[in-house]
Structure 1
Amino acid sequence: MAAAIADFLDRRTPGGLLALALLLALAARLAALALFGDISPGVQIWEYGEQAQCAYRNGSDLCLRYPDESGGAYPSAYMPPLLSYLWLVLFHLFGDGSTARALFLAVNLALGVANVWLVFRLALALRLSRWAAFLAAGLMAVYPTFVFVTATYHHTNLAVFLLLAIVLVAARIARRERVAWRDAALGGALCGLAALNRSEMLIAGPALLGLGALWRRSLADVFRVGMVGALAMAVILAPWVVRNYLLFERVIPVAQSTGYNLWKGFNPYTNGSGNMTEEPPDGPGDAARDRIALSVPTGPRFETDLQDAYMAEFEAYMAEVPPGRLLELSLNKVLLLWGFDWTDRDVTGGIAYRLPWVVANLLALVGLVVLWRERRKLDGAVVALGLAALFLLTLAYVATAVHARYRMHIEPFLFVLAGAGAQALLAWLGVRFGGSGGAVRQPTS
C-alpha cells in the first residue's frame, strides 16, 4: 500500500501534487466547518466584528461599547480595521445575521486553502523538491489548528496569507533580472493591507520588501522599489490615518491599542503570556484591567484616554521592575512563541494540539539538518526573507505579549522545514521520490 502511494505521488507533476494538497485542505476545512462552524447571533466574532457590529447598529463608523455596561458607544480604532470593514460591508448587505456570518466563514475558507498554495510556492521558491513542497503543503492542509481556525471568526488565515504573499513578492523582486513596477506596487499594497490587519506588519512588511530590494545590490532598484512600494502602501493606509486624526487628533496608522498591548505583556500578573493578563475572569490580571478601564470617564475621548491610562501603568511598572524580571519576561515570551503557551490550557492542553506539535517540530528539526547540509543549493534570498520574517515577528511579540495563536504566524515557515524533513525520513525508510529522494533541487543557471 505504501509503495503504491509512493509510486502514485512520484508520477505526479508539481501542479498535480499541488492540486492534491489543495483538495486535502478543502476537505479538512469543510469538515471543520460542518462540525464547528457556528453562524448563530451569539457566536464570538472578536473585536473586529464587534467594532463593525457597533457601527452597524448605531449607524456610525467603527465603535465599541463602554465597559460599564451602560449601553453607550465610543468611536474606536482599537483593532486594525481591515476585517472590521469587511464585517461592516457584510452587515450592510445582508444584515447582522447568519448570512453575513456564513459568508465571512466562506472567505476564511478560501484564505485557509490559499495558504496551502502559498506554502507550496514558498517551498519551491526555496528550491525544495516538488515532493518536499507537497509534504509541507500537506502538513499545512491537515494541521489541526489551521483546520479549526477556518471555522472561527479570527483573522489568522488572513494574517498568514498576507505575510506569505509579501515574502513571495519580495523573493520575486530579489531574483528577477529586472525589477517590475507591478511587483513593487503589489508588494506595497500587500504591506498596507497587512498593516491594516496586524499592527506589527506596519514595520515587518516594508522591512521584508526592502530586504528583497537590497538583495539586488543596486541602489537604483532599492530606490524604485522603495518609492513605488511606499506610495502604494500610503494609498492603502491614508483613508484610515486621516479618519483617525479627525476623530482622535492623533496619528494612528494602524490601531489605538499600544498602551494596552504593552501593559498586557509587562505587568505583575503575567509571565509574558497575554492569556495570563486576561484570564481567568475575575483573576488578578483581569481585575486590574477592569480597574483601569472603569477609571476612565466616558466620552468621545474614552479610547484615547484608556490607552493613555494603560501606558501610564506600563511606564510605572517599567520604572520600578528589576532588570531580572524584564529578562525573565522576554525569555518566557520566546519560549511561549517558539514552544507553546502552557498557560492557555484550553488551546494547548490537549493531545489534539500537542501530538501534531511534537510531530511537526521533530520533522522541522530533521529538515533543518537536511537543509543545512544542502545549504549551497538553496535560494539565498528566500532563506534570508524567511529568517527575517521569523526574527521580526519574534521581536514584535517579545516587545508586547504572546498568545497561543501567534505561533500560527511562524508555523508555515516551520512546515517548509518539516516538508524537507519528512522527505528525508521517507528516503531513510526506503521511499525515494524521483529516484534519489533528495529534498533539495539542483539550482538552475
Structure 2
Amino acid sequence: MPESKRPKYLLILILLISALIRCGLAVYVQRQLDQQPERTYVIEGDADGYWRLAQTIVHGEEYSIYTPPRRVLRMPGFPLVLAGAMSVAGEDHFRVRLFLALTGVVACYLVYLLGKELTNETTGLIAAGLTAVSPVMAGFSVLFLSETVFAVTMLFSLWVLVKLGNVKWGDHDRLQGCLWSALAGVSLAAAFYVRPGWLLTLPIIVALMIWRAKGQRARALERAAILILGFTVMLVPWVYRNYQVTGHFVLTSLWSGPSLYDGLNPQATGDSDMTFFDRDRVMLKMSEYEMNRYYTQQAVEYARQHPGHVIQLMGAKLLRYWKPWPNASQFRSWWMMAAVSVVFLPVLLLAGYGIWISRQQGLLLLITLGPILYFSLIHMVFVSSLRYRLPAEYSLYILSAIGVTALVGDRLNKEKIKS
C-alpha cells in the first residue's frame, strides 16, 4: 500500500471501529432499559428534560417543560440536536441513540483533525484511536445527555482557533484572518449553546489573541472584534427570546442559581442532590427569574458565612472530578470501575509525558490541556463528577498520543542502535 494512502485507510478503520462500538452499546443500553419497565433512561432527570424539550421543538410548541412552566431551564443546543434526530428517525429512543452514536464518531474524527493540525497526522490517528475505544466516551455517546455533542462543538471550536492562530499577520492574510475569526466566534457560540460554562473562554481567548500579537496589536484587535461580533450575532436570537418570555436579559439559562446552590449549601457533598428544589417549591411563589436569583443569593451567602466548608467542598469536588472511576452509584459495579480505570490511568500518565515533551509549545498545551483544567476549576464551585470531565478528555488524548509517539519512537531508535 502506498505510504500516502495508509493514513487515510487507518483513519477509516478507526472511525468504523468507533461506529461499531457505539452502535453496539446503543443496542446494549436499549435492551437493558427495555428489561426494566420502571426505568426509561440511564440517568433519569437530565435525560428526561432534554427529551421533552426536544419534543416541544419537533411539535412546534413552546420551549418549556414542567408546571409552573420552566421556559429558560436549558440551553437549546442539545435539544435541537435531539429534535433533528427525531425529525429524521421519529421519537424512538433506540433510533435516536443510533444517531447520537454517530456524533461520537464525529468527535473521534475531530480529535484526528485537531491532533493533525497541532502536531502531525500520526498523533491525530493515535488520538482518534484512543477516543474510539474509550469505554466512557463510547458509553456516553448513546445516552440522552449533552456531553458528547458538547465535545463535538468544543473540538470544532478548538480546531478553528488553531487554524486562526496559524494565520499570519501580513496584509495579504487579512481577509483569511477575518474569516477564521468570524468562524471562531460562531463555533464558540455553538459550543456555548450546548454547555453555558464554555462562555468564560471568550474573554480568555480574546486576551490571549491580543497578548500573542507581538507588534501587531491593531490587527489582533480587529480579529478579536470580529470574533466577538460572530459570537454575539449567534447569541442574539436566544437572548431576545429570553427577554420576550421573562422580561429580563438572560444570557445563559435560569438553572445556574439552583446548580450553584446544589454545590454550595449546608448538605452539599460535591455530588448533585437537587431534592431541595422539590422540597422548597419556590416556583409556586416566584417567577423563574426570581427563583434563579434567589438560589444564587442563597449559595453566595452560604459561601460567605462558611468558608471552611467551601474549601472542604472544593477538595471533594476536585477529587470527584479526577477520580479514575465513576462516582454515580449506578456505575459502581466492579467491572465498570475496572474498565474505566484501566483506560483512564494509562491515558493520564501518557498525557503527563506528552505535557513534558510539549512543555515549550504554549498553543498546543493551551488547546489540549486548557479545557480539562478550565472545567476542573469551574466544578470546584459547582457539583463535580467524571461526567463533567469527559468532554475535555477528548483534547487531552492528543497529549496522550504525543506521549505514545515519543515512547514508540524512542524504543525504535534504541532498537536501531542495538542492531
TM-score (norm 2): 0.83
Please show how residues 214-233 of structure 1 align to structure 2 within 5 Å. 214-217=211-214, 218-233=216-231
Specify which of 256, 273, 283 is matched with residue 296 of structure 1.
283
Aligned length: 401
Query: Residue 84 in 1 paired to residue 79 in 2?
Result: yes
Deviations 1:120-142 (Å, cap 9, x if unpaired)? Answer: 222223325x4443222111001
Cα distance change, pair 432–212 in 1 and its aligned pair in 2 (3 A): farther
Contact conserved, 1:188 with 1:233, CA < 8 A, in 2? Answer: yes
- Number of the residue aligned with 1:255: 253
Is there any run of 5+ residues in structure 2 with no aligned partner, and where? 42-46
**Matching residue's letter, 1:79:** R
C-alpha root-mean-square deviation of aligned residues, in Å?
3.3
Residue 234 of structure 1 is matched in structure 2 by 232
Q: 1:45-194 counterparts in 2 under 5 A?
A: 45-53=47-55, 60-66=61-67, 73-88=68-83, 93=87, 97-98=91-92, 101=93, 104-127=96-119, 130-177=121-168, 178=173, 179-194=176-191
Contact 1:79 1:257 in 2 (8 A): yes
Per the alignment, do residues 9 and 29 of structure 1 end up closer, same or farther by CA in structure 2, a change over 3 Å counting?
A: farther
- Structure 1 residue 144: Cα displacement: 0.8
C-alpha distance in 2, partners of 1:297/1:142? 47
Residue 362 of structure 1 pairs with residue 353 of structure 2: no
Which amino acid counterpart does residue 401 of structure 1 have in structure 2?
Answer: V
Q: Cα 1:184–1:219, aligned 2, differ >3 Å: closer, same or farther?
A: same
The amino acid that maps onto 2:55 is Q
Structure 2 CA distance, aligned partners of 1:261 and 1:229?
29
1:304-383 alignment runs, 5 A limit = 304-321=289-306, 323-340=307-324, 343-373=327-357, 375-376=359-360, 379-383=361-365
Change (3 A) 1:261 1:229: same
1:267 aligned to 265, 268, 271, which one?
265
* SS of residue paired to 1:64: coil
Tell me the secondary structure at the aligned position of residue 278 of structure 2.
Answer: helix
Q: Say if 1:224 and 1:355 are closer, same or farther in 2 by CA, change over 3 A.
A: same
Larger mean Cα displacement after TM superposition, 159-168 or 10-19: 10-19
Identity %: 20
- The match for 1:422 among 384, 404, 411 is 404
CA apart distance, 1:180:
2.4
What is the match of residue 25 of structure 1? 18
Q: TM-score, normalised by structure 1?
A: 0.79
User: Quick check: 1:28–1:142 contact (8 Å CA) kept in 2?
Assistant: yes
Letter in 2 for 1:308: R
Structure 1 106/214 Cα, relative in aligned 2: closer, same or farther at 3 Å?
farther
Partners of 1:77 and 1:256 within 8 A in 2: yes
CA distance in 2, matches of 1:9, 1:366: 30
Is the partner of 1:410 in helix, strand or coil? helix
The 1:397–1:328 alpha-carbon spacing in structure 2 relative to 1, beyond 3 Å, is: same
What per-residue deviation string (whole Å, max 9, x for no partner) do you get for residues 351-395 of structure 1?
33443434432343244235524645xx43222333332332222
Alpha-carbon distance change, 208 to 43 in structure 1, aligned in 2, over 3 angstroms: farther
State the 1:96 CA deviation: 6.8
Q: Deviations over 1:132-181 (max 9, x none)?
A: 43222111001111111222211111111111111121111112223522
Is the CA contact (8 Å cut-off) linking 1:126 and 1:383 kept in structure 2? no
1:28 and 1:195 map into 2 onto residues whose CA distance is 28
1:36 paired to 2:21: no
Q: Which one has more relative contact order, counting CA pairs under 8 Å at least 6 apart?
A: 1
> Is the 2:135–2:339 contact (alpha carbons within 8 Å) kept by the matching residues of 1?
no
Q: Please give the secondary structure, in 2, of the residue aligned with 1:252.
A: coil
Aligned position for 2:44: none
